[in-house]
A = this chain, B = another copy of it.
Amino acid sequence: MSTAQAGLTLGGLLREHARSRPQRLAAVDGALRFTYPELDARVDRLAGALGREAVGPGDRVLWLGQNSFRVLELLLASARVGAMFCPANWRQSPEELAFVIDDLDAKVVVWQEAEIGDGVAAARGLARDAGRWVRHDTDAVDGYEHFLGPAWSAVSEREPAVDPASAVLLIYTAAFAGRPNAAMLSHTACLSQGIVYGGFTGTTADDVYLNSGPMFHLGTLMHTLATFVAGGTNVFVPRVDAELLCRTIEAERCTGAFLVGPMFDQILDVNAGGAYDLSSLRSAPGRPAWDAMVGPDTSAWAASPGGYGQTEAVGMMTFNCLAVGAAGTHGRPSPLVELRIVDDDDREVPAGEVGEITARGCTVMNGYWNRSDENAFRQRGGWHHTNDLGRRETDGSISFVGPKTRMIKSAAENIYPAEVEACIARHPAVAECAVIGVPDDTWVQSVKAIVVVRAGHTVSADDVIEHCRANIASYKKPRLVEFVDALPRSGFFVDYDTLDARHGGGNYPGGRTRSA
């Protein structure tokens, strides 16, 4: 696309930042610091290096490493040559990683030796091992910095024409058929979400974002992109370590960071004596000890965080801050997205009824990489079918109900685990819980609750069942309750597949995306 009215590409926006913010820091990683013009120049060199490996439009570049400024750099260089960049989950087993390596068939793989080299080597041994492998954490001649090569002589006029609607970021997700699929996200999708999410979170060029969550997840990347779009500074740390985070926040005056539950506690522990000045952080988790340590966050997002999102749409599709006080639990759609709740025949269902959430808009993925049948099915009729169930409330707001694949069928009734889980979680003796369906010859499935008891409390199975009977429709109450010490998790999320395997779950009517 070379028309004046084409949308920006990631490479084009970087070029503009280099012009508009010549003194602003773009990336910080330990002792390495790059202004926007410096990052732009490195991205040009890297784009030249990719070009020498014949990486062009539609080709893939794979990252097998922890967080690094090179994730952003490789994304932007891939963008500049029209290629797609995938930061893969290095926490996967060698077999899982080998599947990703083979599935992507990348022309260039950039990998890390420190801490994760054994796993990467094992995966490489299992995979077909095509493409050029470049180790990023070495200064040797076969390493990344040598790979970069000399300055690229291209000026912007000679840049390859890149279509902003083409895919630039690949994120593996949606392992609904036992293997993950890589959502292909376009330049327009990434930049538009950066603008909208950045707007709600109040992200500006003055912001300094600490990339302390995994960069193979949109949870972190949404904010990385918003910070880049605004012309702010992205700071990278290889892993989550409370001491390192505190030191980095103080040194770089970070205004934001990707922090979840246990990290707050760890940072409070490390900084109990107030050794670190964390006052630059804008953060409002509503915990007094934390709030006393950091600055206030007055953004719309901070007042009403969250919403409903999917990797397949660069994260958030609805925002709670667009529906403050509304009936729905998950806000209203982003201004970039149209959203409809439909039945199995793709007819819109009336407000108040549960159906599949479908969406269209410029943040929706271009499809999964290398999954043409799945894509045709998931995007039938010009709408992205999320495989998630939701409800439009009568005030127009949205409630996410749960994954379609985990809907429980008991006799003729549909039961949504999230609703039962929310009820059980309100019991004072329950720390956390998950609800699955177990096969039942008479009723298709029965509801089973897996419960973690709060320390110092006791609760019986009958107590849990009675609590549900008193608070939700009787047919939704669990027939079976098991107690465990902890729920199995994959990253931050409950791992329902493992729960099913351990506790006899199965027979879900929507258990596969389609019957084929």
Contacts and interface: CB of A to CB of B under 8 A. Distances in A.
Given A332-B20, A332-B21, A392-B19, A338 B381 contact: no
A351 B395 CA distance: 52
A394 B19 CA distance: 9
Residue among A5, A196, A199 with the highest chain B CB neighbour number at 10 A: A5
Nearest to A378: B4
A107 to B, nearest CB: 25
Interface string A446-472: 000000000000000000000000000
Nearest to A382: B2
Main secondary structure of the interface of A (DSSP, over half): mixed
Nearest to A37: B396
6 contacts: A2-B381, A3-B379, A5-B186, A6-B362, A16-B333, A23-B395
Contacts of A396: 19-23
Contacts of A12: 338, 360
B22 A360 contact: no
Contacts of A424: none
A165 interface: yes
Interface string A5-28: 111100011011001111100000
A157 interface: yes
A383 B3 CA distance: 7
A366 interface: yes
A275 to B, nearest CB: 33
A237 interface: no
Interface stretch (A123-131, A187-195, A434-442, A484-492): A187-195
A111 to B, nearest CB: 31
A22 B335 contact: no
B229 A335 contact: yes
A366 B4 CA distance: 8
Contacts of A231: 332
B379 A4 contact: yes
A4 B229 contact: no
Interface string A91-124: 0000000000000000000000000000000000
A50 interface: no
A220 interface: no
Question: 8 tightest CB-CB pairs across the interface, nearest first?
Answer: A2-B382, A7-B362, A199-B199, A4-B384, A20-B396, A5-B364, A4-B360, A16-B338
Nearest to A20: B396
A336 interface: yes
Contact of A8 (B6, B21, B361): B361
Interface in A125-168: 156-157, 165
A339 B20 CA distance: 9
Contact of A196 (B2, B22, B195, B379): B195
A57 to B, nearest CB: 17
Interface in A305-324: 322
B13 A338 contact: yes
A254 interface: no
Contacts of A362: 5-8
A431 interface: no
A188 B4 CA distance: 13
Given A196-B195, A338-B15, A364 B4 contact: yes
Nearest to A346: B157
Contacts of A363: 5
A278 interface: no
A335 B195 contact: yes
Given A13-B338, A199-B195, A189 B5 contact: yes
Nearest to A322: B205
Interface string A386-423: 00000010111110000000000000000000000000
A343 B336 CA distance: 37
